[in-house]
Amino acid sequence: MQAGGLLVIHVISLGAGVQSSTMALMAANGGIEPMPICAIFADTQSEPATVYRHLDWLEKQLPFPVYRVTAGSLRNEIMAAMRGEQRMDARPPFFTLSGGMLRRQCTQDYKLLPIQKKVGELIGHEPGTRWPEDVCVIQWIGISTDEAIRMKSSRLPCVTHRWPLIEQGMSRQNCLSLLKDMGWPQPTKSACTFCPYHDDALWREMKKNDPVSFADAVVIDRAIRPGMPGPKRPEGEAWFLHRSLVPLDQVDFRNAEEAGQGRLFADECEGMCGV
């Protein structure tokens, strides 16, 4: 689309969860305009098999291409770091025994940067050069009205974020209702199997209905304890996937409906994953 000499292109940041899937399907059926030129899925290579199966289905429904981009396997990076084979640069926000969570870096390295790289390729940007001034990329992000706190402006001068679900006044529940009404499948949450931002309902669901993913999360949870080789940390420091600071396979998720738990999602992934 040309506007006053400025080339404007629309792309979707696709997490393959409820909101971004709804947004992409609405665009494919004329419910959101203009038609984007593509969707971009940043793959951490660490999500449940259900996410990839849904993405396979979704690609077949869309009239525009879906580009799968990746910085590699986040899981492999964590495990290699715990074995002392490399640094853990893309650090997930593990819970710490000393209180709080580690500063999150995984979203930047495994979600934002791969998408940014692909956007650059689409507009012919050469790495290390200035971003073009005659191109504007409108990047659609699937944040719904109940997650408006996650809306953040783009850090790139030629990229503008757009939140079509906010424009449509749609909540996550509205998205679920639309998916049901249209006969479209309901996606599972898009996130790494071992994401510390999982709430207890999701852990409980995973343990019951996706034991393979839960077992994988338990492996990661055990690997990040102290005593393992790997990155230096304060003496006695321990890392956990669950906010209770209890080993994941010992958590009683039936008693885990804590006030404020849902707040974790408000700061989850800068609107780039889990939507």
- How many degrees, rounded to 5, is the angle at CA 180 between CA 176 and CA 185? 90
- How many degrees, rounded to 5, is the angle at CA 191 between CA 173 and CA 11? 75
As a whole number, the mean pLDDT across the chain is 89
The whole-number pLDDT of residue 232 equals: 57
Strand partners, 259: none
- How many degrees, rounded to 5, is the angle at CA 105 between CA 42 and CA 225? 110
CA atoms within 13 A on the CB side of 146: 11
- The CA R_g of the chain, rounded to the nearest whole Å, is 19
Q: At what angle do helices 18-28 and 172-181 cross, to 10 degrees?
A: 50
Sign of CA dihedral 228, 229, 234, 235: positive
Please, what are the domains in the chain?
2-267 (3.40.50)
pLDDT digits (tens, 9 = 90+) for 165-202: 999 999 999 999 999 999 999 999 899 999 999 999 99
The whole-number pLDDT of residue 141 equals: 98
Answer yes or no: is pLDDT of 130 > 80. yes
Give dist(CA 69, CA 63) in Å, integer: 19
pLDDT digits (tens, 9 = 90+) for 57-92: 999 999 999 999 999 999 999 999 888 888 888 989
Strand partners, 221: none
Lowest mean pLDDT among 44-48, 186-190, 225-229: 225-229
Top pLDDT among 163 and 256 is at: 163
